[in-house]
C-alpha cells in the first residue's frame, strides 16, 4: 500500500475453498472454478489477487482454501511472492475461515484493517473497485463492519439483499448505514426490492478492522471466539497443522452473514461504483461475455445452425448444434454436459450423483 494512504496497514483475505459444482464438468474437485480461466486468460483467483495488489502487497495477502487444493493453489500463485496459503482440513462455512484469518492477521499486525474477498467474482473496472476499497477502509476506521453493496439490475433470487439506511457523507461518497439484511427472496419479493431502489445485493465482500471483527464474533458467536482466542500457531510452524485440525474439528459451521452481520447493529455499506458479477452458474456467462446475433454465448470451437439463446463452451474438440435453443452445452476432455438453461442452478445434483458412484466418482 502507498505510504500514508491509510492510518492502518491493509491486509487481504481471499476465500478460495469453493467447489464450483454448478460449473461442472469444467470445474472439478481438483480444479474448481476459481482455478480456471473461465473469463479471461488468468484464473479467477489470479485475477482477484492481481486486482488488489496496487493496495495490498502479496506478503499481506492470505488465501484460505481447502487442504486438498492447498498445494495447487500455492503453485498457481508462485508469481505473487510472499503470499500465504492456508488449507482448511474441513469446510465449516465462512465464519470460522474469516475468524481464523483475522486471528492470523492480528498476530502479525494487531491494528490491521482487512479486506475480505471471494475468489470467483468478476469486477469490470479495477480503478473504480480500488476507489471503493479506499472508501470502505476509511469507513472501517470508525470501528464499523463494512459491506460492499451492489445496485441490483434484475430481480435476482440467488443473492441476499441489504436495505440501506442513513447516508453518512462524513465517511465518504456512497456510504450508508445498513438497516437490515434480507435472505434470498422469492421472485415476487425480489421484484419489489428492485423497485424500491433502497435495497442492494450483499456482495460477500467486506472491510473491517480485525479488532472490530473479532469483537463482533466474541459478542455474537462466543463459541467460535473461544477457539480463535486459543489459536496461537502461525503458518510455517510445526504445530500449525495440528492446531488447524483441532480448530476446525471443534468449530461450528456457520456463515459470517448469519452468525454475525445479520445480528450486528454496527454495519455500514459502501455502494459499489464498479460493475460486478458472481459467477454462480453457466448462465452467468450471458452477463459477462458477448453474445452473437442469435443470443448465443460461444467459447472454444463451436458450429451452430438454427441455434438460439444457448451457452456453448468447448474446452476440447468441437460442439455442433442444430435446431436447438435455451441449452447449456459444455464439452471437456472427459465429460459432456447438456442442460436446459432453466435448470442451471441444479447442475450440482450431477456432482452428488457422481460422488455416490464408485465407478463414476473419477469424473468429479
Tens digit of pLDDT at every position of the chain (364 positions): 444 445 569 999 999 998 888 999 999 888 899 999 888 889 999 999 999 999 999 999 999 999 999 999 999 999 999 999 999 999 999 999 999 999 999 999 998 999 999 999 999 899 999 999 999 999 999 999 999 999 999 999 989 999 999 999 999 889 999 999 999 999 999 999 999 999 999 999 999 999 999 999 999 999 999 999 999 999 989 999 999 999 999 999 999 999 999 999 999 999 999 999 998 899 999 999 999 999 999 999 999 999 999 999 998 999 999 999 999 999 998 899 999 999 998 998 998 888 887 777 777 7
* Predicted local distance difference test score (pLDDT) of residue 8: 65
**Phi, psi values for residue 17, rounded to 5°:** -105, 5
Collect all residues with Cβ–Cβ distance below 8 Å to 26 and sequence separation of at least 6: 33, 36, 38, 313, 315, 330, 332
Residue 315 parent element (H or E): strand 311-322
How many angstroms separate the CA atoms of 151 and 42, rounded?
27
By CB atoms closer than 10 A (0-12, 13-18, 19+), residue 247 is buried
2: which DSSP letter?
Answer: -
User: Are 70 and 87 contacting, i.e. CB atoms less than 8 angstroms apart?
Assistant: yes
What grid cell was written down for 360? 463414476
How many angstroms separate the CA atoms of 164 and 150, rounded?
11
Q: Which residue, among 280, 278, 312, has the nearest Cα to 294 in the 3D structure?
A: 312
Domain ranges of the chain: 10-278, 282-346
Q: 311-314: long-range contacts (C-beta < 8 A, 24 or more apart)?
A: 311/282, 311/283, 311/285, 311/286, 311/341, 313/26, 313/282, 313/285
* Predicted local distance difference test score (pLDDT) of residue 30: 85
Positive or negative, the CA dihedral 249, 60, 71, 364 is positive
- CATH number corresponding to 10-278: 3.90.550.10
Using the structure block, give the residue that is written with the C-alpha cell 445485493: 201
**Phi, psi values for residue 59, rounded to 5°:** -70, -10
Amino acid at each position: 500500500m502507498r505510504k500514508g494512504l491509510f492510518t492502518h496497514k491493509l491486509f487481504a483475505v481471499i476465500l478460495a475453498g469453493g467447489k464450483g459444482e454448478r460449473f461442472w464438468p469444467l470445474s472439478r474437485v481438483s480444479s474448481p472454478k476459481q482455478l480456471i480461466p473461465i473469463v479471461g486468460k488468468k484464473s479467477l483467483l489470479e485475477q482477484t489477487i492481481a486486482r488488489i495488489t496496487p493496495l495490498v502487497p502479496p506478503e499481506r495477502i492470505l488465501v484460505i482454501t481447502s487442504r486438498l487444493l492447498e498445494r495447487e493453489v500455492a503453485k498457481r500463485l508462485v508469481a505473487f511472492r510472499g503470499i500465504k496459503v492456508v488449507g482448511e482440513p474441513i469446510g465449516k462455512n465462512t465464519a470460522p475461515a474469516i475468524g481464523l484469518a483475522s486471528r492470523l492477521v492480528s498476530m502479525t499486525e494487531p491494528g490491521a484493517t482487512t479486506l475480505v474477498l471471494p475468489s470467483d467474482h468478476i469486477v469490470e473496472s479495477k480503478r473504480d473497485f480500488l476507489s471503493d476499497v479506499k472508501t470502505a477502509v476509511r469507513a472501517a476506521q470508525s470501528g464499523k463492519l463494512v459491506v460492499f453493496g451492489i445496485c441490483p439490475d434484475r430481480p435476482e433470487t440467488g443473492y441476499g439483499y441489504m436495505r440501506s439506511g442513513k447516508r453518512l457523507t462524513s465517511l465518504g461518497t456512497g456510504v450508508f448505514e445498513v438497516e437490515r439484511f434480507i435472505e434470498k427472496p422469492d421472485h415476487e419479493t425480489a421484484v419489489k426490492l428492485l423497485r424500491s431502489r433502497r435495497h442492494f445485493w450483499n456482495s460477500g465482500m467486506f472491510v473491517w478492522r480485525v479488532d472490530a471483527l473479532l469483537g463482533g464474533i466474541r459478542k455474537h458467536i462466543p463459541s467460535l471466539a473461544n477457539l480463535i482466542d486459543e489459536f496461537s500457531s502461525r503458518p510455517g510452524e510445526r504445530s500449525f497443522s495440528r492446531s488447524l485440525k483441532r480448530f476446525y474439528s471443534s468449530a461450528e459451521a456457520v456463515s459470517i452473514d448469519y452468525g454475525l452481520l445479520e445480528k450486528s447493529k454496527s454495519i455500514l455499506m459502501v455502494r459499489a461504483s464498479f460493475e460486478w458479477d458472481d459467477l454462480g452458474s453457466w448462465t452467468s456467462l450471458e452477463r459477462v461475455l458477448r453474445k452473437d446475433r442469435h443470443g448465443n454465448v460461444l467459447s472454444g470451437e463451436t458450429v451452430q445452425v438454427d441455434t438460439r439463446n444457448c451457452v456453448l463452451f468447448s474446452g476440447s474438440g468441437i460442439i455442433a448444434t442444430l435446431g436447438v435453443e435455451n441449452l447449456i452445452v459444455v464439452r471437456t476432455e472427459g465429460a459432456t454436459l447438456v442442460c436446459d438453461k432453466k435448470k442451471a442452478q441444479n447442475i450440482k445434483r450431477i456432482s452428488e450423483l457422481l460422488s455416490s458412484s464408485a465407478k463414476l466418482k473419477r469424473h468429479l
